[in-house]
Every structure is written in C-alpha cells, then in structure tokens.
Amino acid sequence: MRFSRDLVLITGATGHVGSVTLVHLLEAGYHVRAAVRSHAKMEAVLARPAIQALNPGERLSFVIVPDITAPGAYDHAVDGVTHIIHIASPLATGDSVPGHLHDEFFIRPAVQGTINLLEAANFGGQVRRVVITSSIVALVPVDEMEGLTPRSPLEPVSPNDRIPFQPGPYNTTFAAYAASKVASLHHAEAWMARERPAFDVVYLHPGFVLGRNDTATSPAQAMQGTNSVVLALLLGKKFGPYAGVTVHAEDVARAHLMSLDPTVLGNQSYILSQPARWNEAREIARREYPEAIKSKLLVRGGSVKTTRLTVDTSLTEETFGFKFMPYAEQVKSVVGHFLELRLQKRPAVLKFGAPKKKDVFLNVREIAC
C-alpha cells in the first residue's frame, strides 16, 4: 500500500458498486471523503467488517449531503478534493414508481446531482479528474437490451455510441431508470463542452453488475440489485429476456480506481462488460455448490432468457490492461455470499415471490449515497 495525499470524494459509497470501490480506494492508500445522506449512513459504512479490517483512521472522512438536487449540494464537499468518483444515482426498484413521478424520482436527481457535482468541482479549482458511473443503457436502447428490437452482431455496442433522450411517460421503472442514465450523460457532456473546466471526466458504463455485496447482511438484502437475476434464477423463477452483458463488481471497482490515473484518457467512455448466458448459472451452481442443490437451498428449474448483445470492450481492455472476470466467477461470488447469509438464518424459511420481468434488473429503492 502506498499512501497518497490526494483526496478522493466518492458518492454512492453505501451502495453495491460504491462499497467495493471505497475498499479499493482505501487499499490503494488514498485519502477518501464519502458523501452520504445522513449520520446513520455514515455509521453503516464504518460498521462494515471490510472497512474495519482496513482501519483507515483519518484517511476516511465523511460529509453529509442530504439532497443531491439542492443548489450547491456539493460545494462544501469538494473542499481540498483532487479527484471525484460519482456513483450515486437513482436506481430502479421492485416497487413500481408511478409514471407521474418518474421525472422527479429518476431524471431530475440523476441530472441535477451530476451537474451539481461538476459545478462544485469547477468552483473548487483543485479537482483534476471526475469519474462518473454511467451504464450500458446510456449507450444502447432498452428494446435492444431486451431483444425486442434485434441488433446485428456486426454492429457491436461502442463506447462512443449515444442514444437520444426520450422524455416520459415511461412504460416501466426500468425504462425510466435507463432514460435517467441517458439524460445524465447528455447533460454532463454538454456541460463539459460548454464550461471547459480544468478537469476532465471519465465515463464508465457497466453492464449487469454481479458479485458479493457486503452492504447486504441478510438473504433478502442479497436479493436486491442486479444480483437478484442470478439468485431468482437459482431459486426456480422463470423470466427475461435480459441482455447477456455482465461484469464482476470487483472489475467495476478496479476500473474506478484505475480511472484516477492521469495516463487514462479523459473525456472518454469505457464499457465494462463481458458476454454471459444467464442459464449457465445452473451448471455453475451444480458444479460449485452440489450440497446446496441437494438440500434444496438452490434449485435448477429456473430460467432467464438471454438476449445476445455484442459489445466492443477493446478500448477498456487496452486502457486498463485487464481481462474481465468470467461469468462463472461472478456467479460464484453472488451465490457464495447468498448461501453464507442463508445458512446463518436456518432454520428460518425464506420465501421469494417470482420477480416481475420489468422489476428484476435493479431492485433497490433509494439513491445509493
């Protein structure tokens, strides 16, 4: 570990991707300031075993930002900050958000939270780089993700692809979530072109993020987020289709960390994804967790239809210098953690209703910050 005097502001540290990224930052020796919405959120971060094991001391501090849409929300948070990792954004939820609230719940926070952060970084004057967590859904239409509109394998999704923002109303909460990512990307790039700040921006576009989620301390919590696709499949549910574009949470965190390196080209998008066939999780579970299959903790009758989507990740691999961890490693990480939590709860019986197709992609109610 090398200790760096650079101070990194991270948003979204209470969520899945943010929690892993925070650990990577601290392991790399950075001083980190986490923007959270309340003191309770701060205490939750400090209580994590992974954070306590690192004993970061003064290298980890916090700033309370209760409303990321408020004017000047991040102005105080950027004091002395040299780098920013912006992960916080509204996520789709298993509880349907009424159509008339889509703009208020998804679009406005995603856009205004990002612009507030960019304006604060520009005002502060010390920031050298901002890393923004976008999504692959900002580059490819939802209809193509779900296979409703076929995409030729000869036209892979490129990091330079852009799709137009479509205002609501939206048919599903996932469509509204996707629109928020499109809108946020458009507004951020337009702001950068207009303001020409001293810093640059790296945009990261992960697919379905899978992997151990240390913010989950119960089997029900483990079923939240994109991990729910694999777990619902292995609990016998049938749904889909979903695009076979997945990425290990550890790879996403590594990419965030490496994006702070000035040799990584800024004002550029990078796709974080590798190909997957969802139903291969059944064979992976049979091979890796035979006792769980035998004891019915996992079942093999589930199915998730896969939409094949070709993605060009050559720029990401060349820039960051690593190959993505395969789907099998992602599944093992998700299932291993779920079983660890499940066995802690025995003999209690868990019951999971079949997830609705439109709700499985992300299953978290709140902004992860």
* pLDDT over threshold 50, residue 288: yes
| Residue 248 and residue 210 in contact, taking contact as beta carbons nearer than 8 Å | yes
With 70 as the cut, is the pLDDT of residue 95 above it? no
Question: C-alpha distances in angstroms, 218 versus 46, 60, 344, 353?
Answer: 18, 26, 9, 16
Alpha-carbon span 139 to 185, nearest angstrom:
10
Average pLDDT over residues 112-127: 96
Q: What is the pLDDT of residues 8-49, one digit of tens each?
A: 999 999 999 999 999 999 999 999 999 999 999 999 999 999
- Contact call for residues 315 and 286 (beta carbons, < 8 A): no
pTM, rounded to two decimals: 0.92
Q: Which residues pair with 83 in a beta bridge?
A: 8, 129
Tokens representing 67? 């409303």
pLDDT single digits (tens) 182-220: 999 999 999 999 999 999 999 999 999 999 999 999 999
Give 136's DSSP letter. G
What is the DSSP pairing of strand 31-36 with strand 60-64? parallel
